[in-house]
Structure 1
Amino acid sequence: MDKNVLIQYVEMKEEIKDLRRRIHENERELAKLENMIVTDSVTRGKRGKKPLGTVKITGRPTAAIALKQKLLKKRNDRLTALEAELLELTNQAEEYIETIPKSELRIMFRFYFLDGMSYLKVAKQMNRMFPKREIKYTDENVKKRIQRYFENVPQCPDEKC
C-alpha cells in the first residue's frame, strides 16, 4: 500500500461531490419541467391553399421529462456505486495512515487527507491539540512534514510494486 491510496481517496471524494452537484441540478431542472405547460397552435388542415383554422394545443413536455428522469436514475446509481467504492478506499487510507510510525504525523494525515482540511486548518487544529508546544505549527510546517514523509518513506516496502 502506498500514498496513491490517499490520492485516490481525495480524488474520489471530489468526484462524488461533483456528482452530487450534478444530481441536484438535474433534480431542479426536472422540477421545472414537471411544472411547465407547453402551448402551441397548429392548423387543422387545408382545403386547397386555405387553412381550415387553427387549434391551440397544451400539454407537458413528457419526452424531456422522461430523458431527465432516466439521466437522474443513472447518476443516482453511479453515486451509489462510487460511495461504496469510497468506503473501501476510506478503509485502505486509514490502514495506510496507521502504518505511519509517529503519532503526530498520523494525526496530520487524518486531518489533511481524511477530513479534507487545508494545511492552515491542520496547523490550527494541531495547535489546539498541543497548546504547550514551544514551536507552533504553521501551514508551511505541516506541508513540509507531509512532503518529507513521502520523500523519506519507501513506497511498497513489503511487496513489489
Structure 2
Amino acid sequence: MNYKELLQQYTDLQAEIRDLEKRIKKLEAQVDRIEHDSVRGSHSEFPYTQRQFHIQGVNVKKQKRLKRLKKLLTKRKDTCEELKLQIEEFIDTIPDSRTRRVFQYRYIDGLSWLQIARKIGKHDESYPRKVIHDKYLEGIFDHNPKNPK
C-alpha cells in the first residue's frame, strides 16, 4: 500500500474505531448478563402437582463466544489505531510547514481541495493538490525507491 492509499484511509479509520468502540461496549454489557427463564415441573411426591419454576444463570457458551468476539474487535481496533498513528507520524515527518498543513487539512481534517486552498490563502483548488500535495508525494518516490507504489 502506498502513502496516498494509506492517507486516504484516515477518516475511515476514525469512523471504524468509533464503530468498534460502540460494539465492544455493547458486548461488555452482554457478557455478564444473567439470563432468566421459567420451566415447568411437578412435585416429587404424590399428587405430582405441576408448578412453574423460575431459573437464572449465565450462558457459558454464549459468554465464551462474546469474549472471543470482543478480543477480535479489540485486535481490529488496535490495528486501526496503529495505522492512524502511522499516518500521523508520516505527516509529522514532512519538513515544510505549508505542505504539512495541506496533508493535515486533507487527511486528518477531511477538508476539500477548495477549502484547503482558501485556508492557505489561495483561490485555485488545484494549487494545494497539484503544486504541494502531488509534487511532495512524487518527490518521495523519486528519492526513495524502497517506498511502495
Structure 1 length-normalised TM = 0.58
**Is the contact made by 1:5 and 1:93 (CA closer than 8 Å) also made in structure 2?**
no
Task: Note the residue ranges of structure 1 that are not aligned, 5 or more in a row.
Answer: 45-50, 128-135
Match of 2:102 among 105, 108, 127: 108
Structure 2 residue 127 is the aligned partner of structure 1 residue 145: yes
* 2:78 counterpart residue number: 80
* 1:157 counterpart residue number: 142
**Is the contact made by 2:17 and 2:80 (CA closer than 8 Å) also made in structure 1?**
no
Post-superposition shift, 1:11?
A: 0.7
The one-letter amino acid paired with 1:145 is: Y
Q: Write the deviation string for residues 134-156 of structure 1: whole angstroms up to 9, x where unpaired.
A: xx64xxx33x2244232797462
Q: Write the deviation string for residues 8-66 of structure 1: whole angstroms up to 9, x where unpaired.
A: 0331552353143123123224315634532131557xxxxxx9845443223343233
Task: Note the residue ranges of structure 2 that are not aligned, 5 or more in a row.
Answer: 43-47
Give identity over the alignment, percent: 15
**Is the contact made by 1:19 and 1:79 (CA closer than 8 Å) also made in structure 2?**
yes
RMSD value, Cα:
3.8
- What SS class does the counterpart of residue 117 from structure 1 fall into? coil
**Is the contact made by 1:9 and 1:93 (CA closer than 8 Å) also made in structure 2?**
no
CA separation of 1:27 and 1:42: change in aligned 2, threshold 3 A: farther
**Is the contact made by 1:27 and 1:72 (CA closer than 8 Å) also made in structure 2?**
no
**Is the contact made by 1:39 and 1:58 (CA closer than 8 Å) also made in structure 2?**
yes
- What SS class does the counterpart of residue 109 from structure 1 fall into? helix
* 1:34 counterpart residue number: 32
CA separation of 1:61 and 1:122: change in aligned 2, threshold 3 A: farther
- What SS class does the counterpart of residue 37 from structure 2 fall into? strand
* 2:111 counterpart residue number: 117
